[in-house]
Structure 1
Amino acid sequence: MATDIHNGSGTGPGQGHRVGKGPSGGRRPGGPGGAQPVLRKLLLENGALSALAVLVVAMTVMSTDFLSTQNLLNVGVQAAVTAILAFGVTFVIVAGGIDLSVGSVAAFSAIMLGYLSTTGGLPVWLAVLLALGTGLACGLVSGGLVAYGKLPPFIATLAMLSVGRGLSLVFSDGTPIALPSSVATIGETLGGWLPVPLLVLLVMGGITSLVLARTYSGRSMYAIGGNEEAARLSGIRVRRQKLVIYALSGTFAAVAGIVLASRLASAQPQAAMGYELDAIAAVVIGGASLSGGVGKASGTLIGALILAVLRNGLNLLQVSIFWQQVVIGAVIALAVLLDTLRRRA
């Protein structure tokens, strides 16, 4: 059954542009229904971008080193792994789910890359493909547990978190695996100044935006997150789409794991611990709703940049790592509060 799914407001009968009235009648621009509601809407819909701008200005004022080219590139590199993970999590959250396993899947995929390219003796390009396949397989397992096993996403992905971390330790014997030099170049720079992780970040962000805005699966994610039963009744194969959603999340996690391992020049079984929480935080800070049906790639990128700018700026200001955790926790709580206010509006 062909289905037309719309995420957003259209202009139908009775919803066209309103014609403003002159001074003799109607509302004035500054009165109720004028500039104030427009400003309120802009702040609600672009709160993350506004917050990022304010944060950049504040850090620039407090630290003269913040706005240097090298430091800004460092912020981008620091945001890369979190953002790539968060892009994958965006698919899941838009569809009304959650994925707690992306950090472990990232580490497991990197371990498989190191193991296959060294102990396994496989060509690097084949090891990279199999590492991506590892993330894909983990996502399919999580998706299968959610879609067909009827497990809550929290429980299914929590189980995968444990399995992925355990398999990372099994294949590595608990020790880091050195990567071939050809893989380590992913963590380096082009032309001596442009970080490759930043390029990977932009590519994965473009793919995320394309999937969400231009594909059947992307439109299905919004429909499932908005109302799963209505999506099913409208002809969407919900279980199949959930497999696709979690498979995408797992594949993005594998890409993030490869990027992280290349930066460290080794695959480490304990890598990316806690990154799943940063990824979820980036998605929520970027404007996605934990109840599903809302979210976009640009918002997720802004959320990841906010976390990276916060950490970078607090490091430049020599704020204790313990207080950094407090600040980031407060920011996440504020983001969820704003999300609640936005949905009420």
Structure 2
Amino acid sequence: MSQTATPLHAPDAAPAPRSALKGQLGTYLGLAAVLIGMIALFGSLSDYFLTRETFVTIANEIPALAVMAVGMTFVLIIAGIDLSVGSVLALSAAATAAAILQWQWSVPAAAALGLATGLLCGAVTGAVSVAWRLPSFIVSLGMLEAVRGGAYLVTDSRTQYVGDAISGLAAPWIGGISVAFLLAVVLVIIGQAVLTRTVFGRQVVGIGTNEEAMRLAGIDPRPIRIIVFALTGLLAGLAGLMQSARLEAADPNAGVGIELQVIAAVVIGGTSLMGGRGSVITTFFGVLIIAVLEAGLAQIGASEPSKRIITGAVIVVAVIIDTLRQRRADRRGH
């Protein structure tokens, strides 16, 4: 079992039952074992995988994925989904680049615009889904296209080169590790604390577990849902800044298909697609597994079709495992 928040009405964080703690530890150890096993496998297949350069490269490439996965964890816990995060990443980066290059804004103001763009996109997705009681899958699918179109309009369908204006986020700091990676780790820790140690986190889990019970308890789930999607958009905006800093450019095609990687990382980490259960820490394990898998396949010379087939198979296996785990939990509940 992944770590979840304490019961909804508990005024303070209650001690987790011993069985729950064992389940959490088992999840962590299981994911760590998978990660170590993959590292050992690729290390045996490639002479260059087990090197400092490889791991530094992986660390500096995953911040955008990790940050978006934090938001997606909360979305899946409320039994929603957001397919627009890749497009929001592109539009936020495009807005930042346009502010710097075309409008001559200062870098902090331009970065704030990029973050606000992501926040607005997420809030619109959540508000439309809640107001018309539409599946978030459909709403975010529409947003995926609309926001991508916005990115093309802002950039005139061309890559905007911002140079080193915001490159500080991707600059090597400690042992070659970028500031963006350290920021992503901090956000993972904050996300886990919010999920497990705050009233908001308990409400998020409550919505995913039994939304009707939340209403009967006098808690309106609608604003909570909107906040979750808005925060996810904000984190996608931050991911756009991170990617632009690494590439020193804003590409309107950036983030195409990354929403699938984000969802895969969250599901591999044990967050339930059915809602009500998840952990940001285990999501980070999922991000690392996805990153190591891609880096390892690239180093052993796997073709692009092969990499997609293998990654897709890993996602399907993770979903099957989640479904079986949910069925066992339901049987125990009965």
TM-score by length of 1: 0.87
**Which segment is superposed worse, 328-337 or 56-65?**
56-65
Change (3 A) 1:5 1:222: farther
Question: In structure 2, what is the Cα distance between the partners aligned to 1:215 and 1:92?
Answer: 17
Q: Is the 8 A contact 1:94 1:288 kept in 2?
A: yes
Change (3 A) 1:5 1:281: farther
Q: Is the 8 A contact 2:98 2:154 kept in 1?
A: yes
Question: In structure 2, what is the Cα distance between the partners aligned to 1:5 and 1:154?
Answer: 33
Change (3 A) 1:57 1:6: farther
SS of 1:294's partner is: coil
Letter matched to residue 270 of structure 1: N
Paired residue for 1:275?
258
SS of 1:190's partner is: strand
Paired residue for 1:212?
195
Paired residue for 1:116?
99
Paired residue for 2:85?
102
Consecutive unaligned residues in structure 2, runs of 5 or more = 1-7, 329-334
SS of 2:166's partner is: helix
**Which segment is superposed worse, 142-151 or 199-208?**
199-208
Q: Between Structure 1 and Structure 2, how many residues are aligned?
A: 320
Matched, 1:329 2:312: yes
Letter matched to residue 45 of structure 2: M
CA shift for structure 1 position 10: 5.0
SS of 2:189's partner is: helix
Letter matched to residue 164 of structure 1: V
Change (3 A) 1:6 1:279: farther
Question: In structure 1, what is the Cα distance between the partners aligned to 2:14 and 2:35?
Answer: 24
Q: Is the 8 A contact 2:60 2:177 kept in 1?
A: no
Q: Is the 8 A contact 1:139 1:247 kept in 2?
A: yes
Q: Is the 8 A contact 2:28 2:282 kept in 1?
A: no
Higher Rg of the two aligned structures: 1
CA RMSD of aligned residues (A): 2.3
CA shift for structure 1 position 7: 9.8
CA deviation map 1:20-40 (0-9, x unaligned): xxxxxxxxxxxxxxxxxx999
CA deviation map 1:102-139 (0-9, x unaligned): 00001100000000111111111011111101110011
Where does 1:80-229 land on structure 2 (aligned, <5 Å)? 80-190=63-173, 193-229=176-212
Paired residue for 2:292?
309
Question: In structure 2, what is the Cα distance between the partners aligned to 1:192 and 1:59?
Answer: 23
Question: In structure 2, what is the Cα distance between the partners aligned to 1:191 and 1:217?
Answer: 34
Change (3 A) 1:231 1:172: same
Paired residue for 1:249?
232
TM-score by length of 2: 0.90
Matched, 1:300 2:283: yes
Q: Is the 8 A contact 1:108 1:168 kept in 2?
A: yes
Paired residue for 1:47?
30
Change (3 A) 1:10 1:297: closer
Aligned match for 2:10, one of 4, 13, 17: 4
